[in-house]
Amino acid sequence: MEADHREKLKRLRIYPSHLRASIVAWWAFVIGQLLTMGLVLDVPVLGFLVSLLLLLGPWFLLQRWTQQRRAMIEDQLADSMVSLSGAIKAGLSLAQALEILAKQSPAPISQEFGQMVAEYQMGKTLEKCLDEARTRLRSENFALFAAAMQASRESGGKLNETVERIAISVREMQRLERKVLAETSQARTSAVYMALVPIVILALYYFVVDPVNTEKLFTTVLGQIFLCVSIVLNVTAYLWARHILNPDI
């Protein structure tokens, strides 16, 4: 768990000094919450489900933040490639063009270019820097960009023309992705409402319609099992809907 969290934080440019202690403290909190709900509040099944969600919470947040950062890099990549092509046209070498991008591009892509330039200046070959960046980012567009630069350096072709063509392709893919997101925005909002409806209905039954029988969902083991299964199915349906409405173009 520590290695996984450290790798994700590294991609986010976060370098915690006490990661293991934080993980141990979080586990202690989760165990304390489980004992409190199981022994004090007498809701062991719900306590187990809440503990499971708490354990998965940091992993989910890191995964989400990593995806958001990757999406930002994807959006900035086309403009960066156009700037790179212009710098090469002006007579700069590839390393010099990357150094300019590291200084002038917005974050977070400037951080990636900055790391490549720093590693290159410390003695790594440019091909190795590109390979490591491709592995680190896990971006299809950046992988295409890196492969084109390596192929152009090996074959001696015109790098600026190759980069321009890739930039046009990346922008077209981004246009299609934005079109899909715009056309599915209403459906994604409906998925959120559908996920919230069971919570609203449960609250209405608990406070208005039938408080006595609804309370059994929390006070009996069978009711807690039914409630936990409902929660799992509701979350699964929401995540499934989000996955369907975010196609990979």
In CATH terms, 72-170 corresponds, of 3.30.470.20, 1.20.81.30, 3.40.366.10, 1.20.1440.230, to 1.20.81.30
What number of helices (H) and strands (E) belong to the chain?
Answer: 11, 0
Q: Where are the domains of the chain?
A: 72-170, 184-249
Which secondary structure element, helix H or strand E, spans residue 207, and what is its range?
A: none
Give yes or no for residue 194 having a pLDDT over 80: yes
pLDDT digits 0-9 by tens, 13-53: 888 888 999 999 999 999 999 999 888 888 888 889 999 99
pLDDT digits 0-9 by tens, 69-97: 888 888 888 888 888 888 888 888 778 88
Give the whole-angstrom CA distance, residue 20 versus residue 135: 25
Q: Which residues contact 211 (CB under 8 A, 6 or more apart)?
A: 205
Give the residue among 242, 243, 62, 249 at the shortest CA–CA distance from 140. 249
Q: What is the pTM of this model?
A: 0.79
The confidence score (pLDDT) of residue 36 equals 92
> What is the token pair recorded at 17?
């000094």
The residue assigned the tokens 């971006």 is: 139
User: Cα 172 to the chain's mean position, in Å?
Assistant: 22
The confidence score (pLDDT) of residue 28 equals 95
